[in-house]
Structure 1
Amino acid sequence: MKTLKRENLGNGYLFTFLICVATAALIYLPFVVIDKGLFQYCGDFNSQQIPFYAYMNDFVKNSAGQWSWETDLGSSAVNSYSFYLLGSPFFWLSTLFPAKTLPFLMVPLLILKFGVCGLTAYMWLHRYAKTKSWAVIAACLYAFSGFTVYNTFFNHFVDCIALFPLLLWALDKYMYEDVHALFPVTVALNLVNNYFFFAGQIVFLFIYFFAKLSCRDYRIRRPKKFFLLAFESLLGVAMGCVLLWPAALSLMDNPRTVDVSNGFGLLLYGRVQQYFAIFTSLFLPPDPTYLPNIFTDAVIKHTSMTAYLPVVGFVGSMAYLRCREKTPWKRILLVCFFMAMVPVLNSAFYALNSSYYARWYYMPILILCAATMHTFEDEDIDWKKGFKPVAAITLAYAVFALVPKEEDGSWSIGVVQRQSQFWLTYLTAILGLLLLYGVIRFWGDQRRRMTTIMLAVILGFSVFYSVVHISLGKFPQWEGDKDYRSECYEAAQNIQWPDDSFYRVDTYECYDNLSLWMKRPALLCFNSTVSPSIMEFYPNLGVKRDVSSKPEHEKYALRGLLGVKYVMMPLDKSAEYEEKYGSYGYSYAFSDDTYAYYYNENELPMGFAYDKYILMGDEEGESDSITLMTMSESDRANMLVRAIGLSEEQAETYGHLMEQVTNDDLVGLDYDGYVWDVNKRRTTAVTQFEADGSGFTASIELSSDNLVFFSVPYDKGWSATVNGEPVTVEKVSGGMCAVLCPAGESTIEFQYETPGLRASATVSVTALVVWAVYGAVVLAGRRKKKQ
């Protein structure tokens, strides 16, 4: 496939950007009106995207450090938010506005992202187009593909979709036009935007490069060109690695990222429905991310499994694949389809993680858009060779809603979960095919007019099916989210706490991430990339910790251990909470117009010392001593209020300072015993605890040398001093911190610096200098040639 010489391309950049912005506005503004300015969607958008943007806007402006106390039990702000937004140019654009306005700016930012999606796609596509019109149409297909609309749910994924085409555009510039120093910039931009998506982009770039090389579309006649490309690639990675290395150090300890596929899981999906679901993603508009409807036994929820293009669907790509031989696009699409069908190859886009995702589909979708563009531009490609099989396959999907099903002796029609949702989605796909047929049937011989009508139909249809998709996801949660604005945006930011001391809050029947709204540390947290020690600590106590922290309220001892002073809940949940958990030492404290607050009578300060220790051990029980991990999960939190958890190595070093637990200490691990232990811990607790974004300072007085425990997640970025002297920060009790303090009064200072950030920033700055010198040399060489 050679670069096409074409006429009438003109300047389609601004036009494409503006029509994508206008179309996105038509999609989202009606919902903004319904929500009175603060757009609420569902799931992650409400729970993460809105509070993350608002919270980090304030954090980067006002925090003097890198530690976020409001993120779970406390976590590195860099590592916790670099996956979500910290490297995104759209986020940094949002910092031009006050944090309080961010919830209202989510839709304008989203509309802007759709505009950039179209713009960058056009930048790459127009090289291969014969006319501006079809380049614009293909760019709009990319901007409003099912993948982009679906990922409104995640929002920050749209940033990756918007910036990705720049990689292919810059690579083409290098290979076709010998434009140097541009590719490293796009590599750095995509890497700093989202390191996790960039891993998949690397895989796709290799596929793209070698597909073009194998078709002789790219030609490397001199080794110098290849080595310069390798140099520019590495330079781009170095320039953009400022967030990569700290994230890598953290993720290596995160259990969600180290579970690698194995055995049959490398080669075959566990359920045959997975294959049908992947195939279907090409033909039908996507269901809402949390409401899969047909292949419900497959892994579909939250996976971004969709490759649907509005109106044209898979028609143009099917025709192209049937009518073209040995082209880069065909090879790329076939390789990607094969990789999607093989688990280990699919997971290659996600560092071989065993969790199934299809969040890389936006890359082959861009190629689908190019193939579609060629189908309708090139007269030697018969579009009917795509339309007929796609129409037949699409029609066949009706069988899933019509096939009889017997369950528990009762017969019903269809294997879909919700008939109304299926028929709405299905008929939307049929409508798209009918519109496509009508445009070609009536205006196919009028090329200029056909492109205008095709563009209008695609944009109008995009508005229709996007509104349907968002409505299907939004309105089922209407009742559950009706108090979101009043409880989160309005009430949580204006709570009048009785005192300004440092403590944690727990929530009951509240929205996720309320801590980010009220700027107060809280137990409930929905964030996948918090400190790895939290991921270790909670499971040690029998609490599930995958994407969120939601410890059961029955674990009352956990609340005391973690310094929870108040439990808050909506007013109408107060009586229910008091009935269920009031006997665990929670008494009514105060209330406002929205929430009721209960005081935890067994609150412990953030730091204290113990007189006993217990070995952590493991669940296999290989130790001869009593260990925490061989105890019942229901008793472990109670035990950690009674004794600090140490490793065997730590016990050898610090064990002489305390007594080791005995069988007698396994008695009385009930509520009464817990109250007794809390009162005993208070006698050796810190008398002062002050915290900010750089760490904390605490004061304590001990009668003898001892370890002082802090309910602060352990992180390799912590450094500490006691009375000005450096001390070792120990990881104790399965994920918390402790330091050795002498007898008498001590001042303890903890300072936090994200591991690897300084080194990676140094590399990035150095690489920027190298890039500037390299660019200057390239520019000087060009000027010399012109002379």
Structure 2
Amino acid sequence: MTNKIKDILKTHKYLLLSFFLPVLLLEGIAIAEKIQPFGSESFLIVDALHQYLPFFADYQEKLKSMDSMFYSFHAGLGYNFLGLWAYYLASPLNLVIALVSKSMLTMILSHLYVLKIALCCFTAAFYFRKRRGKDEISIVAFGMAYGLCSYMVGYSWNIMWMEVMMMLPLILYGIDKLIKEHDGRLYCFALFISLWCNFYMSYMTCLFLILWYLLYSHKNVKEFFTNGFRFAGYSLLSGVMAAVVLLPAYLGIMQTSSAKLQFPKELWYGTFGNLFSRHFLGTTPLTMAVDDSKINLYCGILTLLMAGFYLAVREIRLIDKIRRLLLLVFLFFSFNMPVLGYVWHGFHDQYGIPNRFAFLYIFALLAMAYEGYCVLVRGKRKVSLWIYFAVILCGILIGITMKTSTVKLEMKTVYATVAAIAVYMICFALYQKKIFRKKIFTTLICFLFIVETAAMAVMGFQKNGTVDTDSYFQDTKAITEVKKEYQKNVEIRMELISGRMLDESIWHTLNGMTLFGSTAQGNVVDMMDQLGFYTGVNEYLYEGATPFTNNLMSMKYQIYRPYDTKYTEFSLKESVGNVTVYKNPYRTALAYTMDDLVQTWDYEDYNPFYVQNDLATSAFDVDELFHMVKTAKPQLNDCKITSDNGDGEYVFENTSARPDNMVFTIRSTKTRQLYIHFDGSQVENTVIEKNGEQVLTGRLDSQIIYLGNVQKGDEIRIKMQLKQDNEMSGVVRLTAAELDEEVMEELAQRMQENAWKLTSAKGNHLSGTIHAQEDQMLFFSIPYDKGWTVKIDGKKVKTKALGKAFLTVKVPEGKHKVSLTYVSSGFKEGAILSVAGFVIIILIMLFSQRKKKAAVKEI
């Protein structure tokens, strides 16, 4: 056994080094950056903190409790968990979270980054070893150039993508085996794993594979077509094998806001120089950017030299050079052409993470560069003279970059790049002068290449920054105690009045309303906006609630922390540690019967108070719930109003950004519960003062704001600072309203009389009873989804969407048992296809094995 291990270490030492060296480097960075357990910091930056970590927490709870994987009530009033799992959590490596406590989750995910990046280095090194045919130091250098490129470092917080980058080299080697040996098994399994782990990024890989195959060096036309059928067949088979994940994921993503097709109109983003400068040594990795022309391209300066060398040497056929160059040029154009970028991103906008498919270009460039390197080490010393062509080419490209770049170019990156080229050239010169033997020369340039990429990775992670877990999760213990005490079933919902993370309520696995994620249903986002909650393209937050919407959504408790200054209509319950619990004064339920007139509800008015009034009246037959309060025109500073519709909507132009560009004043003529709502995309910051004292500040637009029980004579001032940008104009629409407390009491009473009584809640199954006074509509504060099956007294009934967003069914007069069961759309069909796919691949493998045995017998 010991001898076998020694043989493996000797035969595969560089391949193993390509994994363990990045692990040591990244763990060293973790120690330096005080990443847990070496401190309190975490690599979980940007959306890894605000989205992915909370989703992992929900997943962890499901794994430990063996709860249904189909549905979760821990976000968005309920969501298709399987669809979200397929988008964010499907990697088998993520199962490690079931082995640790929640307090260790941030630490485990930070080091899972390390593991996944190291595996990317390893699989790339494996590919290069197969191309080289030898286990040597060059596979370590080029493998690390892939795994530690600026794309990987800058976008590493997108932990759910890493398996796709990890599988790409194996997929491409699988294509080699498919074409050269007619064996598609590795290709099929590698692509299956990629599709399973993240279908979205794998879509980009699939587009790339089509280009890779079309530009592959085929022996003849017949081989092109026969191998083409194999390529298509195994590609389809890998998709069929992953169908149990792909179908639910696809059907889920088609319900999001981003599923709407809207091709960009611009022809170009920027210039060649803007893009190519991102290859330079010393460029800061990009973690996110609103500008879709931004990109991460750095993958080593030796890569550029060897790619130029590849184009120069005579040992490589011209047609092969043209094929590789065509692929790279097309990808490069795709970075700068909005329409092509839109297609590459699955007909979606890029939403702050531009050019996500750049890893494909980087690997294609590295593969080309490594072919050049192989020619260098196989050839005679004089072959190395072609490096001067590469240097001249790099010099020309650097010159063009400096000439055409329209963004500020950091000269230190130019100097660093030129210096790196000079260092490599010294090595080449010493080799050409016969001062270095070939082995010393190749070892030296690979060593320098490793040092270069490692240094850039260290710099990149330092620039990325970290998050202090102590500051974000200090209340976790207290909130967990609150949850255990008060969250008895799915009908009892509770929310943080404000979160340190956007999805913090999901982190605590509260039955909440907040959801920020790519799988958020577009119709629900739109409805929450109409009701007065804060929304974004793929988010709706618990910001903008009123007594009516709290009852409607069964919001029973609110959790406050010392820094929270928002007013609440709830009553104080108790304090636990550093948090305070407030309770809804009204009884709530998950579902209510409503008058059939609710089907005529006008939910498309821009005024959320009108929307709520119309819903309350049509559903529960009460008088006007909110009465509009007239507001005076705002005071202006460096701003002028160009249009006024007389109903609180103002078109403006501003000349600067001041804290008091627009100031609205409301003087209360009586004691009342006062609310405001305003829309203003050009509002940078808002300050709300009550009798001269600041009560709220920050991003307050596009949500209903409760101003408390305002006394007669109180003065409310809403001060808006406008943006100073290219537009310097926009629209502000402000509405104020008072709650009719008598109508609210009557409304709450009627809602309670019409409440559905929950009797059982297990995983993806709910049941309860309802007593309808007449034939009515039964409304559930659950997002409408075709995956729900509703039965009344054991008989399946048709479900409908109220306002395109909420689940409803018609219920006849009398007392009834109503049960609901959820199974993600596409799961059953996908499971059948996956089983069929695995049966087919097993039969193929058995047939192949039998064929090999028959061939051996013949010999």
The alignment's TM-score, normalised by the length of structure 2, stands at 0.76
Alignment partner of 1:512 is 2:502: yes
Contact 2:592 2:756 (8 Å CA) reproduced: yes
The reply on whether 1:681 has 2:751 as its aligned counterpart is yes
Q: Is the contact made by 1:428 and 1:465 (CA closer than 8 Å) also made in structure 2?
A: no
Q: Pick one of 277, 282, 286 that aligns with 1:280.
A: 277
Q: Compute the displacement of 1:139 (Å).
A: 1.3
Which residue is equivalent to 2:364? 367
Secondary structure of the residue that 2:243 maps to in structure 1?
Answer: coil
* Cα displacement string for residues 399-420 of structure 1 (whole angstroms, at most 9, x for unaligned residues): 999x9xxxxxxxxxxx75xx9x
What SS does structure 2 have at the residue aligned with 1:383?
Answer: helix
For the pair 1:299 / 2:292, whether they are aligned, the reply is yes
The residue that corresponds to 2:705 in the other structure is none
CA contact (8 A) 2:274 2:401 kept: no
- Could you tell me how far 1:205 is from its partner in structure 2? 0.6
2-structure distance, mates of 1:498, 1:537: 32
The aligned residue for residue 117 of structure 1 is 120
Give the whole-Å Cα distance in 2 for the aligned partners of 1:222 and 1:299.
Answer: 36
1:246 is aligned, of 241, 245, 248, to 248
In structure 2, the residue corresponding to 1:495 is in which secondary structure? Answer: helix
Q: Which residue of 2 aligns with 1:570?
A: 561
Contact 2:40/2:470, CA 8 A, preserved across alignment: no
- Report the Cα distance in structure 1 between the residues aligned to 2:170 and 2:852, rounded to whole angstroms: 23
Specify which of 581, 594, 598 is matched with residue 578 of structure 2.
594
User: Which residue of 496, 512, 515 corresponds with 1:522?
Assistant: 512
Question: How far, CA to CA, are the matches of 1:291 and 1:514 in structure 2?
Answer: 21
> What is the correspondence of 1:519-558 to structure 2 with a 5 Å cutoff?
519-541=509-531, 543-553=534-544, 557-558=548-549
Q: Distance in 1 between matches of 2:411 and 2:457?
A: 16
130 and 169 in structure 1: CA distance in 2 versus 1, 3 angstrom threshold: closer
Give the corresponding residue for 1:407: none
Q: Which has the higher contact order (CA 8 A, sep 6+)?
A: 1
What is the alpha-carbon distance in structure 1 between the residues aligned to residue 753 and residue 416 of structure 2? Answer: 68
Following the alignment from structure 2 to structure 1, what is the Cα–Cα distance between the partners of residues 473 and 393? Answer: 48
> Is the CA contact (8 Å cut-off) linking 2:344 and 2:357 kept in structure 1?
yes
Give 1:291-330 correspondences, 5 Å limit: 298-299=291-292, 305-312=295-302, 314-321=304-311, 325-327=318-320, 328-330=323-325
| Alignment check: 8 A CA contact 1:71 1:530 kept | no
- 1:655 aligns with none
Consecutive unaligned residues in structure 1, runs of 5 or more: 1-7, 404-414, 617-625, 645-657
Structure 1 residues 443 and 243: CA distance shift in structure 2, 3 A = same
Residue number among 604, 610, 614 corresponding to 1:635 in the alignment: 610
Cα deviation, 1:155-211, whole Å, max 9, x if unaligned, reads 212221111211111111111123243322122111111111121111111111111
Cα RMSD (Å) of the superposition? 3.4
Is the CA contact (8 Å cut-off) linking 1:134 and 1:377 kept in structure 2? Answer: no
Aligned equivalents of 1:344 and 1:550: distance in 2? 32
Q: Report the Cα distance in structure 1 between the residues aligned to 2:506 and 2:143, rounded to whole angstroms.
A: 37
Aligned residue for 1:503?
492
**Conservation of the 8 A alpha-carbon contact between 1:68 and 1:74:** yes
Residues 396 and 168 of structure 1: is their aligned pair in 2 closer, same or farther, counting only changes over 3 Å?
closer
In structure 1, how many angstroms separate the alpha carbons of the residues matched to 2:345 and 2:817?
45
Change (3 A) 1:210 1:223: closer
Amino acid at match of 2:45: C
Query: Structure 2 matches for 1:206-355, cutoff 5 A?
Result: 206-213=210-217, 216=218, 220-221=222-223, 224-261=226-263, 264-265=265-266, 268-269=267-268, 271-272=269-270, 276-283=273-280, 287=284, 289=286, 298-299=291-292, 305-312=295-302, 314-321=304-311, 325-327=318-320, 328-355=323-350
Q: How does 1:343-742 map to 2 (within 5 A)?
A: 343-355=338-350, 357-379=354-376, 380=383, 382-390=386-394, 432-433=420-421, 436-437=424-425, 440=428, 445-474=436-465, 483-488=471-476, 490-495=477-482, 498-499=485-486, 500-501=488-489, 502-510=491-499, 511-541=501-531, 543-553=534-544, 557-573=548-564, 576-577=565-566, 581-582=567-568, 585-602=569-586, 604-611=588-595, 613-615=597-599, 627-630=602-605, 632-644=607-619, 670-672=738-740, 673-688=743-758, 690-742=760-812
Distance 1:319 1:675 in 2: 80
Q: Give the conservation status (yes or no) of the 8 Å contact 1:558–1:638.
A: no
Deviation for aligned residue 1:695: 2.9
Deviation at 1:762, TM superposition (A): 0.8
Please give the alpha-carbon distance, in whole angstroms, between the structure 2 residues aligned to 1:326 and 1:21.
39
Q: How has the CA–CA distance of structure 1 residues 12 and 464 changed in structure 2, closer, same or farther, with 3 Å as cutoff?
A: closer
CA deviation profile, 1:6-44 (whole Å, cap 9, x unmatched): xx9966432322223223322334334476266244211
Question: Which of 185, 190, 199 is matched with 2:203 structurally?
Answer: 199
Equivalent residues of 1:492, 1:514 under 8 A apart? no
The one-letter amino acid of 2:549's match is L
- In structure 2, what is the Cα distance between the partners aligned to 1:218 and 1:174? 15
How far the C-alpha of 1:99 sits from its partner, in A, is 5.1
Which piece of structure 1 moves more, 159-168 or 344-353?
A: 344-353
Partner SS for 1:314: helix
Give the secondary structure class of the aligned counterpart of 2:130. coil
Measure the CA separation in 2 of the matches of 1:783 and 1:364: 41
Partner Cα distance (2:368, 2:521) in 1: 44
Aligned to 1:51: 54
How many residues get paired?
A: 714
CA shift digits 1:273-318 (9 cap, x unpaired): 6x654333333555454565xxx8x3257xxx21211453633334
Larger CA Rg, structure 1 vs 2: 2
129, 135, 147: which one pairs with 2:132? 129
Residues of 2 paired with 1:508 and 1:428: CA distance?
49
Shift of 1:389: 5.0
- The structure-2 alpha-carbon separation of the partners of 1:732 and 1:126, relative to structure 1 and needing over 3 Å to count, comes to same
The one-letter code of the counterpart of 2:52 is Q
In the alignment, is the contact (CA less than 8 A) between 1:689 and 1:699 conserved in 2?
Answer: yes
Amino acid at match of 1:197: M
Extract unaligned runs of 5+ from structure 2. 1-9, 377-382, 629-736
- Identity across the alignment (%): 18
CA deviation after TM superposition for structure 1 residue 137, in Å:
1.7
Residues 517 and 255 of structure 1: CA distance in aligned 2, closer, same or farther (over 3 Å): closer
2:174–2:187: 8 Å Cα contact kept in structure 1? yes
Deviation at 1:440, TM superposition (A): 4.6
Q: Distance in 2 between matches of 1:513 and 1:599?
A: 21
Check conservation: 1:606, 1:689, Cα contact below 8 A: no
Distance, in Å, in 1 between the alignment partners of 2:767 and 2:559 is: 27
Deviation of residue 222 (structure 1)?
8.3
Shift of 1:635: 2.9
CA change 1:21–1:198 in 2 (3 A) is: same
CA distance in 1, matches of 2:839, 2:470: 52
Amino acid paired to 1:189: I
Deviation at 1:53, TM superposition (A): 2.5
Q: Is the 8 A contact 1:117 1:143 kept in 2?
A: yes
After superposition, what is the alpha-carbon deviation per residue over 1:70-104, rounded to whole angstroms, capped at 9, x for unaligned? Answer: 13221111101211122x13223544545553322
Secondary structure of 2:779's counterpart equals: strand
Contact 1:723 1:748 in 2 (8 A): yes
Greater strand fraction, Structure 1 or Structure 2: 2
Deviation, structure 1 residue 47: 1.8
- Equivalent residues of 1:610, 1:642 under 8 A apart: no
C-alpha contact (below 8 Å) 1:9/1:126 kept by paired residues: no
Moved more, 380-389 or 60-69: 380-389
